[in-house]
Structure 1
């Protein structure tokens, strides 16, 4: 992919999620947030993807915007005192949940390239007094995070949006401490997406057209230096995915997956 095309996609993603932040959640058109005509609430989406009612009750108002495709916290096994990094942290949904797990001695860093999302997340953090959570402006391909400084990396339906996934995982490897781990929920391709769908910008910004196959994703993670790679598709996610772009049968081509790996 040409560098110019990378930037076109990146700007489209930034614009799309800026609009979602300004609208306090899913607004219209194809997105990871489902079909607004069906009036599926963000909480219903989160519950269907493995979050608990207790998780949702602990969140500041507006943090859950219905942009998940899984629950990375469920596979992260977070421990008190750990440093956690969330790639594409949005309104802070997973950051605030992780902050409860790592406790006051731990630290959570959210990185997002959308200023509107950062403003929303920072306002929520200030409102609830989340002193162990910080949010930084940056691209997940070029993280504003020091080398060997993070215990766990979370991400939720974001890396598929990047036009340069190998660079994302190289950066993830760089900032993780030795023995640090990935706990990621994202979509993967289970069949080749028809070219007509693959080229639609709306689907590139909607967690659909950018999905990699499991073999290709395994190659990317291996090349970045990761070991103990485990990618577990979640077939039960197809019903949620079907609602992202109704009538296009995208659930025949992509599925949510839990992605785990370790920096040796």
Structure 2
């Protein structure tokens, strides 16, 4: 058996076991993995879910997470109330993406990453633009009102005439650790996942021109929807192209070939 019962731990009562399982599976996060036929994969997931002790955050970290989650939620609430019928591909139900991305960027900067190239679909893009990559909110709101006039801020992609949830921008983001991280959110067309090879190519180019031979300073991040990830061939092709060394953008510590279980 895997999970918190897998190690050589003292014998537990049935009540204690049920209490721990309820804590792991009946909280605010749901898990679905019993459809996976590979036992090793299921056991890996159980090890991550059924931890001996739940992760605890101190009050300072909780305030940071709460603040970031509030910005994410209120952004969606404002758009929903102000432009009720406008198409925006909101992030309702997945607002935790914003604090998750910000934490990832903070940790990446602490580990030496200097540039991050991001590709993502329509869903949640406006929220990421406003709260993560810091596109001016007045520009986003202007696009909802039909405005197309460019603003003077450096890094904004303007003049394309494309819909607001296709656009990208770039930003030098300060982190909680006192460092700066350059973020580039690439524009994406209606064809989901079309941005994947562009992100990989731009990341590889940054690694090449900055002589980042160990690939530790420039990183690419791709965010997918479940359906497009499973159904579009460009995803699999990009995964396979990430293995040859002359295309790869991965850190050398990541295995260079698939392993069979």
TM-score (norm 2): 0.33
TM-score (norm 1): 0.33
Determine which structure has the larger strand proportion and give its number.
1
* More relative contact order, 1 or 2 (CA 8 Å, 6+ apart): 1
